[in-house]
Amino acid sequence: MPLGEAIAAVGEELGFGDPRVVSRLLDAWPDLVGAAIAEHARIRSLRRGVLTIAVDAAPWATQLRYLESEIVARAAALLGDGDVREARIVVEPPVRERGDDRADGGSATAPDPGRKPPRNPPRNTRRETGGRGRA
């Protein structure tokens, strides 16, 4: 038995889709959903006819949920009936590299653990000004 067939047989026993089917889906993904969506959505898995699609933000999940039946129909046209019976959309934000905590993607320098934080200047409160408010 060729290796590809053996892997496909083991995958079917475990509930995974045939890797050749997933490969065809991956190759056709931009054509299947469109280039704009393909930039924000990826195929996560195909198990027992359920195509799980991961998107990087909730608005893209909403967009794909509206297109769900169309995506399933296009996948069925590409692969044949039965390989993809339904789609499941999940939100998985992109994984940031370690230390990349800033919103702009840059890396902030870590504070020196041995240094005390700067002391805030005193505020002019009623108690400090003898009840007269701010000076």
pLDDT in tens, 56-69: 999 999 999 999 99
Which fold, 7-91? GMP Synthetase; Chain A, domain 3 (3.30.300)
- CA pair distance 87, 62, nearest whole angstrom: 13
Mean pLDDT of the region 64-83? 90
- CA pair distance 131, 32, nearest whole angstrom: 71
Looking at residue 116, its pLDDT comes to 61
Looking at residue 82, its pLDDT comes to 80
* Residue range 23-42, pLDDT digits in tens: 899 999 999 999 999 999 99
pLDDT at 88 over 50: yes
Please give the angle made by the CA atoms of 32, 70 and 14, to the nearest 5 degrees.
75
- In the chain, the percentage of residues whose pLDDT exceeds 90 is 42
58, 63, 69, 72: CA torsion to nearest 10: -70
Which of 78 and 82 is assigned the larger pLDDT? 78
Looking at residue 39, its pLDDT comes to 94
Which of 106 and 98 is assigned the larger pLDDT? 98
Residue 101 amino acid letter:
D
Which of 103 and 11 is assigned the larger pLDDT? 11
pLDDT at 118 over 90: no
Residue 88 amino acid letter:
R
Tokens linked to 68: 């769900």
Report the length, in residues, of the chain: 135
Mean pLDDT of the region 104-130? 56
